[in-house]
Chains A and B, each alone.
Chain A
Amino acid sequence: MTSQAFYEELQGVLKKYPVKQSAVLEALYILQRDKNYLSDEDIHTAAEALEMTVTEVQAIVGFYSLFRRQPTGKYLIQVCTDLPCALRGADAFYRRLCERLGLPPEGGTTADGLFTVEEVVCLAACDRAPVAQINLQYFEHLTDQAMDAVIARLREQG
């Protein structure tokens, strides 16, 4: 995104807080949103906008699991394999998904760069297992067929 668009969006966020630094998570989210990862430049942009040091912002990025420093697939598929979901077959669901996408059992990124698949901990949807988030959107009560349909749709979208 352009730095002007970023600053404009950030203004709305800053209004909520008495101190600028409170907006750091949202600022990083905005910077990461379109490309699924944060570049060095993004971290500098955030630091400057929020009057923080680059080191402070880097520490924040490293601490919170939703921030990424490496490019991922265009669609980040995060499947919950935590205990309640695992008791309802999430581990096997995850392995089968990886296999159908031609990925190793632990997940990874497809060769076309479209999908990154990974395991995550509880998503607060344990009663609807198996569940996944794709770019933070919930997909629940999943079956292999339902997941394949979603993937086919996303492939079409490109």
Chain B
Amino acid sequence: MQSLPGCVSKGDMAYLTEHILLRHRDVPGIKTIDVYMAHGGYQALDKALNTLQPAQVTEMVKASGLRGRGGASFPTGLKWSFIPKDAPTTYVVVNADESEPGTFKDREIIEGNPHQLLEGTALCAYAIGACVAYIYGRGEFRTLFVDLQRAIDEAYQAGWLGQNIRGSNFSLDIHLHLGAGAYICGEETALLESLEGKLGMPRARPPFPTQYGLYGKPTVVNNVETLANVPPIVLHGPEWYRQFGTEQSPGVKIFCLSGCINRPGNYELSLGIPLRVLIEECGGGAPEGRAIKAILPSGASSHLLPGYNPELPLDYESLQAAGAPLGSASFIVLDETVDIPWAIAKVTHFFKHESCGKCTPCREGTYWLEDVYRRLLNGRAWPGDVELLLSIAEQMNGNCFCALGEFALCPVRSSIEHLRAEYEAHVPQGSR
């Protein structure tokens, strides 16, 4: 019998013996169904169909401690359990909108290991009684979705999708759906609106999608990476999964490393591993041995993490305690040569560009923030402009209709809080 993927200790740290999500890095050709099946593929679905009740699948995912990898970190099994038991129609919607600056992990799963995503989607559908699933991809993923459709076709041919899968009474169709350029459609309720053919603007919550989702039906929306975790959890069991990560943040996570770093890329690690493993061992440090000034750990939507604490454990609780939640784990590294107001102006431009315009505090606030940043960088800052940024942020705070507006404030406020001198340096002499 083949040994299961696990951890090996090196020094004081546990390293993965092989990838659990990015399996294409260990198994060439796993994007084709033959190779996937030769390496345990679709065995989890087979196990579920033959030996597990739908509720037991949900229980396993709950017991594994898996949390959503799309940014909000909500416990996945708990979300599935919110679907009403007697609902005649339910949906699974896979969030493949991946548009957060600094995030490129879902794309690698889709390109490299697509069947694991499809199998995870099927397991979710089985657990919640859905017979239709949609994968919503950002419009820019059109060429990737040609290959993903090919994987879906293979799965139908092999009998893992379609009517009465493997002779069971479980049937599932998976459809691909492409967006058309809008970051806000990554927000789950805006995504559902967009899938219904409407403007991608967020809905009021509650009701949450598990009650009132796609076409008004109970719907689970999960991120690509989240669902890719499900087949190994169901196949090897929650106890196996919990050997990775920490008590409160179990499992593995793909960290997207970008910016001022020698080896940018995706790195799949046990949660809780120290920051130095990601930055130094994986990323090879900043170019030319430069010092790291700050890190944005969840893309543009980050609170800035000042300095570099090599021992910081990369788990949800430790990052939260450090004031910068892990979110999607998109680590943008800023080294000593980076002008912080310039960097935050870039992300502010992003949010202004992507504000959907539904509510005034976000639409106007991001506009004014960008305007002040432009002035600051052009050397035309007015005295008090740093205070002005904070005051615009204060007026937006708590008043935006969805999380995008609040995200826009995080990098602005946290960077001023930690590195205010860099801002003041942009205010011309004499006018301070």
Contacts and interface: CB of A to CB of B under 8 A. Distances in A.
Contacts of A123: 140
Contact of A25 (B98, B180, B259, B356): B180
A63 B86 CA distance: 37
A141 to B, nearest CB: 11
A67 B180 contact: yes
Interface of B: 98-104, 106-107, 134, 138-143, 175, 177-183, 194-200, 215, 256-260, 264-266, 296, 300, 332-334, 338, 343, 346-347, 350, 353-354, 356
B300 A83 contact: yes
19 contacts: A21-B197, A22-B196, A25-B194, A26-B177, A26-B178, A50-B197, A60-B197, A64-B180, A67-B181, A82-B300, A83-B101, A83-B102, A83-B350, A84-B101, A87-B259, A126-B332, A127-B257, A127-B264, A128-B264
A138 interface: yes
A24 B143 contact: no
A98 B191 CA distance: 35
B348 to A, nearest CB: 10
Interface residues of A, number: 41
A121 interface: yes
B338 A87 contact: yes
A66 B101 contact: no
Nearest to A78: B140
Interface string A76-97: 0000001110111000000000
Contacts of A52: 197
A121 B102 contact: no
B242 to A, nearest CB: 30
Interface in A87-139: 87-88, 121-129, 133, 136-138
Contacts of B350: 82-83, 121-122
Interface centre among A17, A20, A133 (most CB of B within 10 A): A17
A28 to B, nearest CB: 7
Interface centre among A17, A59, A84, A88 (most CB of B within 10 A): A84
B215 A19 contact: yes
B98 A124 contact: yes
A84 B180 contact: no
A65 interface: yes
Contact of A29 (B180, B334, B353): B180
A124 B103 contact: yes
Contact of B143 (A20, A87, A121, A136): A136
| Nearest 5 CB-CB pairings of A with B | A21-B197, A65-B181, A64-B180, A66-B181, A127-B264
A16 interface: yes
Interface of A: 16-26, 28-29, 50, 52, 59-60, 63-67, 82-84, 86-88, 121-129, 133, 136-138
Given A21-B198, A50-B197, A83-B101, 19 more contacts: A19-B215, A25-B197, A29-B142, A59-B199, A63-B356, A64-B200, A83-B332, A84-B102, A86-B346, A87-B258, A87-B260, A88-B264, A121-B353, A122-B101, A122-B103, A124-B98, A124-B99, A127-B258, A136-B142
B197 A87 contact: no
Contacts of A25: 139, 177-180, 194, 197
B142 A126 contact: no
B205 to A, nearest CB: 21
Nearest to A123: B140
Contact of B182 (A22, A65, A129, A136): A65
B104 A124 contact: yes
Contacts of A124: 98-99, 103-104, 106-107, 138, 140-141
Contact of A127 (B175, B181, B256): B256
A19 B197 contact: yes
B77 to A, nearest CB: 28
A122 B102 contact: yes
B45 to A, nearest CB: 22
A137 B141 CA distance: 9
A84 B346 CA distance: 10
Interface centre among A23, A52, A122 (most CB of B within 10 A): A122
A86 to B, nearest CB: 6
A20 B215 CA distance: 12
A62 to B, nearest CB: 9
Nearest to B103: A124
Nearest to B357: A63
B354 A121 contact: yes
A64 B179 CA distance: 8
A64 B259 contact: no
Contacts of A133: 140
A9 to B, nearest CB: 14
Nearest to A121: B350
A87 B262 CA distance: 12
Interface centre among B197, B256, B258, B346 (most CB of A within 10 A): B197
Contacts of B179: 25, 64
Contacts of A19: 196-197, 215
B340 to A, nearest CB: 11
A89 to B, nearest CB: 11
Interface centre among B98, B139, B200, B332 (most CB of A within 10 A): B139
B102 A21 contact: no
B202 to A, nearest CB: 13
Nearest to B217: A18
Nearest to B266: A127
